[in-house]
Amino acid sequence: MNLTEKKFNKFALVREMMETPGIVKSFRPESSIPFIPAFKKKKGLFLTGEGSSRLFPAKRAIFANLRKEFLLPVLTEGCTQALEYNLKDFVVFAASNSGQTKEVIRLVEKLKKKKHDAVFGLTANKNTKLEEFAHAAHVLKCGKEDAVAATKSVVEQALFYDSLLRALRGEKMTGLRKAASQMEEVLTAKIDKKIIAMMHDAEMIWFAGRDNGVAAELALKTNEITRKKSGFLEGTFALHGIEEVMNRGDVLIWVDPFEHDRDKFMECIVKGVGVNVIAISDEKTDFPTIVIPKGGDYAEYLQLTAGWNLLVETGISLGIDLDHPVRARKVGNEYVPAAKK
């Protein structure tokens, strides 16, 4: 995709996606430092929110944390299930771009009533209920999103959690300028027309890969952008029974394919079922592949934006209004204050 052709630039979704490299480039890692003192009396970090405000930002943070020497537990769950948890020993971050998400406000309100002393908000808007109810909140710099599907805000949320965990480890967050450049390269890359045709014709689009938020977030974006059904198959779950309900002509997008299991995917999924497997990888594979640069610490951000590019191209090939889904809303379940009696 690009901003020079009308078929792309008329959509706020595309414009917001294309703003993302600039947001990465100008991100200030020190923005998370004011929250570090809260960890002195806590034993873990709990990241919550709904939809896109949780999937990629929180799961990528957990993934990155587990690849390093143990620092502290980092967990995530949706806000409603989290109502049942004992979170007193956790620093809690609740993310809501609107700052008005009902499930988020409900959880924050309950924790405050239980005298929890470290409940923070992450939002893209100022003067919201989340900012009012939390002990403190960080307001993103990405600005308002007009498209229903969240994009640039998702990346900035992830960067904030990234910087927070690095600060706790005493690590510097470097390489943002290079990551931004690579992200722009990925967003504007040409995608093979044969791949777009597979996506266009598929009734079901599956995603497979690590549970680091990339594939799960892209599965959600598939619903919002292409209006096609989608599902996320964690790890190698695609090889453990789900193939029974896959159909010839389905697409499975495999993000950063595990080297060990590529032969089995080819045997069982491609040859056995007739599913078109498409890889997003920093190297060519035996499957049709969207090749991206090696992103190092920021590899997941490049994988995500490669998926954005693919979904936008697919949506446009289907003639879809990318900014205005028929049923989905910008704020999925908005908080409404109880009427005063």
- CATH number, domain containing residue 204: 3.40.50.10490
170-184: burial string, b at 16+ Cβ within 10 Å, e else: eeebeebeebbebbb
**322 within a domain of the structure (yes/no):** no
Extract the tokens encoding 245.
Answer: 């309900």
The percentage of residues in the chain with a pLDDT greater than 90, rounded to a whole number, is: 94
In a domain, 213, yes or no: yes
Backbone torsions φ then ψ of 233, nearest 5 degrees: -110, 100
The C-alpha atoms of residue 246 and residue 241 are separated, in whole angstroms, by 10
pLDDT value for 336: 66
What's the confidence (pLDDT) of residue 333? 72
CA distance 149 to 141: 18
Query: Do 27 and 163 have their domain in common?
Result: yes
Q: Does residue 25 lie within any of the structural domains? A: yes
Both 36 and 166 in one domain: the answer is yes
* Claim to verify: residue 149 and residue 198 sit in the same structural domain: no
Q: Using only the alpha carbons of the chain, give its radius of gyration.
A: 20
Domain edge (last residue) among 143, 175, 207: 175
**Are 142 and 28 in a shared domain?**
yes
Same domain membership, residue 131 and residue 29:
yes
Contact 123, 96 (CB under 8 A): yes
Structural domains counted in the chain? 2
Q: Is residue 150 domain-shared with residue 56, that is, in the same domain?
A: yes
Q: How confident is the model at residue 325 (pLDDT cuts 50, 70, 90)?
A: confident
Residues 234 and 151 in one domain: no
Do 142 and 41 reside in the same domain of the chain? yes
The residue-averaged pLDDT of 33-56 equals 97
Q: What is the pLDDT of residue 328?
A: 73
The CB-side HSE value for 244 (13 A sphere, CA atoms) comes to: 4
Which residue in 153, 88, 165 sits closest to 122, CA to CA? 153
Beta bridge partners, 254, equal 208, 279
**51 and 154 assigned to the same domain:** yes
Per-residue CA distances from 329 to 80, 105, 323 (Å): 19, 18, 11
For residues 205 and 108, the answer to whether their CB atoms sit within 8 Å is no
E strands, the chain, where? 44-49, 74-76, 90-95, 119-123, 136-139, 204-209, 229-234, 251-255, 276-281, 289-291
Cα–Cα distance between 70 and 257 in angstroms, integer? 26
Predicted structure pTM score:
0.95
pLDDT tens digit sequence for 9-36: 999 999 999 999 999 999 999 999 999 9
Q: In the chain, what is the greatest distance between 2 CA atoms, to the nearest angstrom?
A: 66
pLDDT band of residue 269 (cuts 50, 70, 90) is: very high
Q: Domain of 41?
A: 6-175
Q: Give yes or no: residues 151 and 95 share one domain.
A: yes
8-state DSSP, 167: H
Per the CB < 8 A criterion, the answer to whether 295 and 64 are in contact is: no
Residue 17 in any domain: the answer is: yes
| Residues 108, 46 share a domain | yes
Q: Is residue 310 in some structural domain? A: no
pLDDT digits (tens, 9 = 90+) for 91-100: 999 999 999 9
Domain finish residue from 175, 202, 220: 175
* Domain end point (choices 142, 175, 208): 175
Residue 124, both tokens: 């893209």
| 199 and 165, same domain (yes or no) | no
